Structure 1
Amino acid sequence: MNRKIVSIYNIVICISVIICIFSLINNSTSILIVDLGIVTITILCKTFQSLEKHIGLFFFEVFTILFLSGSVFLNFFVDKNTGLETLFSSEIIFHTIFCLYLSQIALYVGYQIQDFSMKKKNITSSSISSEKIKLIQTTSMLCLGITVIPKILVEIERSRIINEIGYVESYLGYSSSLPGFIQRIAQGYNLFFWLFLCTKPSKKRTFFVLGINILIALISLRSGKRSSFILPIVMTIIYLFYRNKEEKEGKIWIKKRWILYGVILSPFIIAIAQQFTYTRINLSTDYSIVENIRKAFEESSVNLIAYGKMLDDVIPDNGYTFGLLWMVLIRNQSIFGNLLGIEPLSNQTVAMALQGNSFGQTITYLVNPNIYFRGGGLGSSYIAEAYKDFGYIGIILFSILIGVLLYRFTNSKTQNVYIQCFMFIMLSNLLLAPRDSAFGFICNTFTITNLLYVFIFFIFVELYYRRYRGNNR
């Protein structure tokens, strides 16, 4: 990127910090919300200078707007009747905007630091031989073929059950009619999907597999879960830009103007997804496209930051930033739990809400216990968790970490297929951090199922490759 343009962005960010200080001195919510808008637009403009390089940051900003800041902008610039000012005091609203502003500034700083440090380093990465890459590609394609049918069956059944018993009620758990081994096989789909794509297959094979993945996303949309539909599309775009950057034969996998077309079509996509959301909870769907878009921002941007501040004295100090890691690795593992004398907690219970380490469950229980006991939830947010545990410093540090990771995941020089695979899976989970637990991207990536499957896959490939190479000497 042109150094002059980068300097302009840095100057704008510095001016923004001065404006923020002015708004803090004068306690001006209006100035702070405009300042937040300036930073958001600056980051988006930066990404458009080189989408191949900054595509991960671009979509993280999109999800931040959708899940967090969208309702704030909507309330102040479009529609004053979105409910923000009726639910929260002016002090809490100011705090919410300031938290969002801090997260954006720290995200930018972390991203720039990593960008600068990567330019200074001459990174050489270990690579895998072309013969082994072909073997990994063939084997992962075979595994993908084995897992895709069970994956489709699981998604179809989930949609059917949600339509029968309701979306919220399904979170209390349901008994699947599919055999257990079918469900276990389906859980390996995402891993083998990315393993195959990271071997950089031909265009024909790539688009065939991507098309199947979009088909599965469309099936999952029938259940009304928008993220299961939108995230695969987003990751498809990110992958195609990755192939653009890695392409050495001049092939174009995706053009920047396609993103522009996507931006133009995004209101219709959001409106369609919102219609499916209404069907999952049996509400009227007689809304215009504009009304659907407005409601999508209102409902997606559940302001957990504001709720967290409002209930700060009531929320137990259980440690939420690392809470999911604690529950996955210790509390919910019978071996470690028994050794440490820690009892596992069941979801959607009072014990989990008050003694557990899930901010999403605690905040839902305190805000709307009826929804909580029915199986529903408001979700979580890395910003709300970081503030509860560590204050504003926590928001700054964790946002810097996210900025660093976003850059590394989309600009990695590694040629190791396995590392690339897990980077893509982590990136897909990291994009949801504005509405997910702080370390959800780690826990949802390095699951026992993923680790077991990749271990078996790795051992098989290594043994087969050594035998194959030995027979051809």
Structure 2
Amino acid sequence: MIRLKQYIGFGLYLTLNMFFILFFLIVQSDFIISGLFLVWANMTVYAVRDLKSKGMLFAFCVAFFSFLMGRHLLSYYFNYEVEVFSEEINTHAELCMLLSLLTVFFSYIFFYVRNRRKNKQSHAEYVLPDRYIKIIRKYSLRIFWVAFVFSVIYAIFIVVLVHTIGYLASYTVEGKEMMRGNYLLLTLNRIEQALPVAFCCYLATFPERKSCNKICMFYFLYLALTLLGGQRGPFILGTLFLMIYYFYRNKREGEIWIKKSWIRMGLIAFPFLLAGLGIFSKIRTGDKIEFSNVGDSIVDFVYNNGVSVNVIKRSYELDSRLRSDRFYSLHFLHDGVFGLVFGSDGAGNNADKATEGYHLAHALPYLMFRDKYLEGAGTGTSYIAELYHDFGYIGIVLGNVIYGFLLASLAKFDKNKPFNTSVKLLIITRLLWAPRGGFTEFITILSLPATIFIYVAVFWGAFLVFNIPRRRYTKLGVG
């Protein structure tokens, strides 16, 4: 039966590839862009066949298509209106994306197979006492509820702020100073940063389904509230995060976490969700809303959301004007606790941060449209653009080998290593955001003072309460 499934799977792979190759030959598609889509399609199918272990890889494929590939493919195959770039720049962007996907795909397979072999060969590891895990769960849950209440209050304030001064204005220096000058709001912001950390610590203890469903429901409500404040990113990434976790827990201990009815409802709701997000992006920036049908709204969402491919193009076009003494891919050195040592870039959109700072997300839009940038507009960044600026094509390859390793390590979570598991869970959203975010944002989130404080409070506090001997504590790997 297993061998039959393998033959069927291979047949589907072959049929799918033959279909796309025939399509590319008929439309006389460019070799690089054809290869880009083929690699992405094979990578996605490879992940879908085992979502329980490869849900993270599937989510990365979704993010990569949404944030980078989609817009470019619309312009190439359907002549969708986009900015005009030279053939050299378009080829560069296509080559960067192809190199990234190829490297991630093959390095993921290598590390995934290697990790599975190591897990099979490894002997039974030390099993944490159930009481110790329950203490971690209790502490993280208490912090979660406290952080949840204050995070909701802060999210409501952001909703009011955005609807009062406008979405773009909230990113200006004045908008940021409005919050920085208010110690109450600054405190609420720091507490909000602690919410996902406490949430991941709780999930790392593998709670029972009923309890987990309740906590995840409240967390999803918080994500929906951030959406009203103009933040699509946290909502999309948070939803993908919950999907990855539930796919991993599904049927792993003989218990069904994802019902078939949920999958059906999700498939039905998915197009309408994309259409809604597409309309929402126009509402937050004050653009005119034109709705004809769900299909057009989905296309608009892909088009608007895939704007990060332009970061790769513009950074290549303006590379000579970007500072060569700045390593934008290492921006984590100027964030979190590292910023206290190496210097922080500060908050808000301002000229000093754009010209003297270490974030491509500020340097690039300042070169492109100076006045609009100072008014709050931006381009975002992309880990691919940062790697190319800093180290060229070889940097893209090496950087994506690291990503392949990280994605493969997220194929397995261990209940008996709650600290390691919570760290893995915490960096998931940062890795998914990488096509539209910085290369080392997964390090930045771990270096935030709020993150460090929560880890100390939960794991060191649990250790003290459990009162286990020093030698045994070392075995647990929580120090």
If the TM-score is normalised by the length of the shorter chain, which range does it land in? 0.7 to 0.9
- Cα–Cα, structure 1 residues 100 and 186, in superposed 2: closer, same or farther, change >3 Å? closer
Partner of 1:287 in structure 2? Answer: 291
One-letter amino acid matched to 1:368: F
Partner of 1:201 in structure 2? Answer: 207
- Cα–Cα, structure 1 residues 451 and 12, in superposed 2: closer, same or farther, change >3 Å? farther
Distance in structure 2 (CA, Å) of the matches to 1:30 and 1:326 = 40
Query: Which has the higher mean CA deviation after the structures are superposed, 141-150 or 2-11?
Result: 2-11
- What is the CA deviation profile of residues 215-272 of structure 1, one whole-angstrom value per residue up to 9, with x for unaligned ones? 111111112221121112111111111212642xx11101578557535532211111
Q: Is 1:233 matched with 2:239?
A: yes
SS at match of 1:326: helix
Partner of 1:276 in structure 2? Answer: 280
Distance in structure 1 (CA, Å) of the matches to 2:393 and 2:209 = 46
Partner of 2:448 in structure 1? Answer: 447
1:4 CA drift (Å):
6.0
Q: 1:81-92 counterparts in 2 under 5 A?
A: 81-84=80-83, 87-92=84-89
Partner of 1:305 in structure 2? Answer: 312
One-letter amino acid matched to 1:175: M
Q: 1:321-400 counterparts in 2 under 5 A?
A: 321-328=328-335, 332-333=339-340, 336-337=341-342, 347-400=348-401
Distance in structure 1 (CA, Å) of the matches to 2:77 and 2:29 = 13
One-letter amino acid matched to 1:298: Y
- Cα–Cα, structure 1 residues 97 and 343, in superposed 2: closer, same or farther, change >3 Å? closer
Partner of 2:472 in structure 1? Answer: none
Distance in structure 1 (CA, Å) of the matches to 2:403 and 2:265 = 28
Contact 1:29 1:94 in 2 (8 A): no
Contact 2:345 2:353 in 1 (8 A): no
Q: Is 1:222 matched with 2:228?
A: yes
One-letter amino acid matched to 1:318: D
One-letter amino acid matched to 1:45: V
TM-score by length of 1: 0.87
How many residue pairs get aligned? The number is 450
Partner of 2:69 in structure 1? Answer: 69
Partner of 1:115 in structure 2? Answer: 112
One-letter amino acid matched to 1:292: S
Contact 1:318 1:356 in 2 (8 A): no
1:412 CA drift (Å):
3.9
- What is the CA deviation profile of residues 22-46 of structure 1, one whole-angstrom value per residue up to 9, with x for unaligned ones? x9xxxx9722212211111111111
One-letter amino acid matched to 2:436: R
Which of residues 301, 304, 307 in structure 2 aligns to 1:296? 301
- Cα–Cα, structure 1 residues 179 and 35, in superposed 2: closer, same or farther, change >3 Å? closer
One-letter amino acid matched to 2:115: M
SS at match of 2:378: coil
1:65 CA drift (Å):
0.5
Contact 1:71 1:82 in 2 (8 A): no
Distance in structure 2 (CA, Å) of the matches to 1:153 and 1:187 = 13
One-letter amino acid matched to 2:304: E
Partner of 2:248 in structure 1? Answer: 242
Contact 2:140 2:202 in 1 (8 A): yes
- Cα–Cα, structure 1 residues 263 and 69, in superposed 2: closer, same or farther, change >3 Å? farther
SS at match of 1:88: coil
Contact 2:51 2:248 in 1 (8 A): no
- Cα–Cα, structure 1 residues 66 and 323, in superposed 2: closer, same or farther, change >3 Å? same
1:344 CA drift (Å):
5.4
- Cα–Cα, structure 1 residues 6 and 266, in superposed 2: closer, same or farther, change >3 Å? same
Distance in structure 2 (CA, Å) of the matches to 1:319 and 1:234 = 33
Distance in structure 2 (CA, Å) of the matches to 1:395 and 1:137 = 39
- What is the CA deviation profile of residues 3-61 of structure 1, one whole-angstrom value per residue up to 9, with x for unaligned ones? 6688789999999xx99xxx9xxxx9722212211111111111111111110000101
Q: 1:19-168 counterparts in 2 under 5 A?
A: 30-78=30-78, 80-84=79-83, 87-121=84-118, 122-123=121-122, 125-168=125-168
Which of residues 240, 261, 266 in structure 2 aligns to 1:262? 266
SS at match of 1:332: helix
Structure 1: unaligned runs, 5 residues or longer: 468-473
Partner of 1:431 in structure 2? Answer: 432
1:156 CA drift (Å):
0.8
